[in-house]
Amino acid sequence: MSSFRKGRFLVFISLLSLAALAVLIRYGFLMLGKEPPPPPERSRSLAGRGSILDRNGRILALQTRLANISVWRPEVEDSEELSRVLSPILEMPSDEIDGRIKESPSDFIYLKKQVDESTVKLLEAARAEGGLRGLNIEPIVGRIYPERELAAQIIGFVGDGNNGLAGIEYAFEQDLVPPDGGPSNQVVLTLDANVQYILERIGGRVLAENNAEAVIFMAADPRTGDILGSASLPGFDPNDFQSSGDWDRMDRPAIWAYEPGSVFKVFSLSALMDAEAIGEDTSFFCNGRYERATGRGDPIVINCLGSHGRVTAREIIIHSCNAGAAYASDRLSGNLFYERLRDYGFGTRTGSGNPGETAGFLRPVERWSERSKPTIAMGQEIAVSAMQMLQAASAVANDGVLVPPRIVSRIVSADGKEARDYKSGDPRRVIKAETAQAMRSYMVDVTSGIGTGWRANVEDLSLAVKTGTAQIINPATGTYSATDFIASCIALLPAESPSLVLYLVIVQPQGDYLGGRIAAPPIREAAEALVDYLGIPRGRNPQISHSGSVIIPPQDVPRVDETIPDFSGLSKRELLPLLLRDDLHIEITGDGWVRSQSPAPGTPLGADTVIRLELR
């Protein structure tokens, strides 16, 4: 037996010995007619855990009081009667409860973990009537996610011990629960919950209408790198993450790598232009395919979507011409092309703050075949993440300056002071300003009547758009599938000076699969909604000159001491100081501002009083 297996075996035997000792101690106390002392509190599960907020202070993850419900079988007098009483309270079938009690190999049985305070109240009331012998209520500190599925893959979730297991909860564990036992910090995200909701709503409909396997929908401010929204569908509810699978919990924008297809031509063509391998007037002839012979005389053929005739860089972008992009790539050496793509950040992690982020896949030049360069130029034989695509798009939006993306804005200490700012990296120049401006002008023409992205066009607002369609490699055969595709669309707006980048990816749609047909319309819908919400200038959105200084009168949080005050009109953000108090029990439903409360204002406040607030 190896030393590693011996170690595991000894640990296993030790755990069995401890378990047996615990049972003996328990029986000893029972024989003496005494209750055993409660198990020692796990410091981690009862430690304070900081909140996670969106950029506007909206609560996305919050610590609350919960309880684990268990049964000590030697004390149970009638398991069927106990199960009958517990069934409606725990919302579990009575036969399931009875089966667990009777069939468990251990006398100590967990029935349900992390139940809320209202459930605990019902259990305590039932136990006070003289029933429920053998039932144990173990108070714990747990986690609730008031927005449920919203941005769930980014936020992540915690386990039974209140430890972060995924997402921000895992990546920023040391900030949310400082290891030195000090006060917990809050993590403020760059996400805007309203933007996130819009993307998830539209993305959810795209997922259903196309019977797709997955959808990624992202929004970012290219000037700062702030990710305003990052939808990954299908999703899950972190309040009940056990009911979901790995595919639902995957943060696809950061950790899933895929071949981007023709959207990638924005970066391959701009790299070729910036290296002066081609100019604005350099032209190539497309007869429906790219054809070239290798050094050994073997033919290389890459099919195009159509026969586009004589094309320049502008027409290659407008018509998404594969042949034109492939011929253009022949003008630059493999080493220089590779370096330019690396400058855009492909093949390396963005450092945006997402745990498990992929570096994508960009092979070194020495591993390229003679087909690799023209294939990469059209967006295949390279794997990227959606986060990398947004990062690269920032360079085109910012006149050549790439700004690394970030999902976390700052860490705020318990006293409300900023503990530290979070930056994923420093801005850097990738291409010349004139190259970026030329590329944006080409992308504007994509929304014209002859371009592939005309369905993304928004009246009285200029969008720089590129659509894409990519085949998916069949892992079993190593060849491209004839039926599985990725459809996508990217938009920079307003095109003259972009302050918003939108990027949509539809994975394995059923039926129509062309990006210009199924990905461009949702981009238009999201642009319409977000331009108005974010106040981006356009024809029917007049801009008013303002000094930029706004005085907002301070909102006093009502004092909560001996009686319950009137909470009417308060928002979640204004309630935050009260939610963080350990001496108050507050339950919130809905979103917006407080419209009703129970108990009524003026009611005496007891130690066990639960204040319920309904927001609308």
pLDDT, residue 34, reads 39
Do 304 and 333 meet the contact criterion of CB atoms below 8 Å apart?
Answer: no
pLDDT, residue 230, reads 97
Look at residue 198 and give its three-state secondary structure. helix
pLDDT, residue 29, reads 38
| Burial class of residue 378 (count of CB atoms within 10 Å of its CB; 0-12, 13-18, 19+) | buried
Tokens of 76: 């149970």
pLDDT of 3 over the 90 cut = no
Model-wide pTM > 0.85: no
CA distance 371 to 292: 9
**Per-residue pLDDT band at 555 (split at 50, 70, 90):** low
The 585-590 sheet, strands edge to edge: 585-590, 610-615, 594-598
Do 352 and 227 meet the contact criterion of CB atoms below 8 Å apart?
Answer: yes
Q: What share of the chain is helix, strand, coil (3-state, %, to 5)?
A: 35, 25, 40
Residue-wise pLDDT for 41-65, tens only, equals: 333 444 578 999 999 999 999 988 8
pLDDT, residue 7, reads 39
pLDDT, residue 18, reads 39
pLDDT, residue 182, reads 78
Q: In b/e form, how buried is each residue of 529-546, taking b as 16+ CB within 10 angstroms? A: bbbeeeebebeeeeeeee
Per-residue pLDDT, averaged over 262-278, amounts to 97
**Per-residue pLDDT band at 539 (split at 50, 70, 90):** low
| Burial class of residue 460 (count of CB atoms within 10 Å of its CB; 0-12, 13-18, 19+) | exposed
Q: Examine residue 494 and say whether the peptide bond preceding it is cis (omega within 30 degrees of 0).
A: yes
**Per-residue pLDDT band at 6 (split at 50, 70, 90):** very low
Phi, psi of 60 (to 5 degrees): -110, -25
- For the beta carbon of residue 30, count every other beta carbon within 10 angstroms: 14
Domains of the chain: 52-190 (3.90.1310.10), 196-534 (3.40.710.10), 572-615 (no CATH)
Residue-wise pLDDT for 97-114, tens only, equals: 999 999 889 999 999 888
pLDDT of 551 over the 80 cut = no
pLDDT, residue 20, reads 40
Residue-wise pLDDT for 303-340, tens only, equals: 998 899 999 999 999 999 999 999 999 999 999 999 99
CA distance 16 to 39: 17
CA distance 235 to 244: 8
Residue-wise pLDDT for 62-99, tens only, equals: 988 888 999 998 988 888 888 888 899 998 999 999 99
**DSSP assignment letter at 135:** E
Residue-wise pLDDT for 139-153, tens only, equals: 887 788 999 999 999
pLDDT, residue 480, reads 79
Phi, psi of 155 (to 5 degrees): -65, -45
Q: What is the mean pLDDT of the chain?
A: 85
Look at residue 527 and give its three-state secondary structure. helix
Q: Which amino acid is residue 35, in one-letter code?
A: E
Residue-wise pLDDT for 448-474, tens only, equals: 888 999 999 998 899 999 999 998 887
CA distance 163 to 149: 20
pLDDT above 90 coverage of the chain, percent: 55
pLDDT, residue 487, reads 95
Residue-wise pLDDT for 207-234, tens only, equals: 999 999 999 999 999 999 999 999 999 9
Do 184 and 178 meet the contact criterion of CB atoms below 8 Å apart?
Answer: yes
Of 106, 29, 97, 96, nearest in space to 69 by CA: 97
pLDDT of 586 over the 90 cut = no
pLDDT of 30 over the 60 cut = no
CA distance 156 to 184: 18
**Per-residue pLDDT band at 205 (split at 50, 70, 90):** very high
Phi, psi of 613 (to 5 degrees): -120, 130
Q: Specify the higher pLDDT residue, 30 or 162.
A: 162
